[in-house]
Amino acid sequence: MNQKQVQNPETQVPKTPQMNERDFLNDMLTTEKYMTLSYSVYLHEASNQPLYQDMMNIFTETQNCQRELYNLMFKKGWYKLEAADPQKLQQTYQQFQGYTNQFPYQGNTMQ
């Protein structure tokens, strides 16, 4: 097993032309990701407060559903991640840390 992979043991799925459990979960996860992205765009542009709040509630429910699907797929070994190299993480952190001097509000938090 690759030392850099972060995963649970893969669950066997039948290799048939029909959709299997993994295919259905993957399709649902992809749909939930698309929906949360679309709701996010709406939330950025909403001007009506009651509609904004309703959509925020729907967004939150959808995001929670997306996370549950991700967790289930990871648990079954159908969603694989690669562990990040600590040295690369540190380099990327330092690179973006240098960008903070370009922010308009140096050291201040927006209120």
Model pLDDT for residues 1-52, shown as the tens digit of each residue: 455 666 666 666 667 778 888 999 999 999 999 999 999 999 999 999 999 9
Model pLDDT for residues 44-93, shown as the tens digit of each residue: 999 999 999 999 999 999 999 999 999 999 999 888 888 888 898 898 88
- Going by their DSSP bridges, the two strands 5-6 and 81-82 should be labelled as antiparallel
Tell me which DSSP letter residue 15 carries.
Answer: -
Domain ranges of the chain: 19-80
Whole-model pTM?
0.64
How is residue 97 written in tokens?
Answer: 């840390």
Short-list 62, 57, 64, 34, CA closest to 49: 57
| The residue to which tokens 């749909």 are assigned | 31
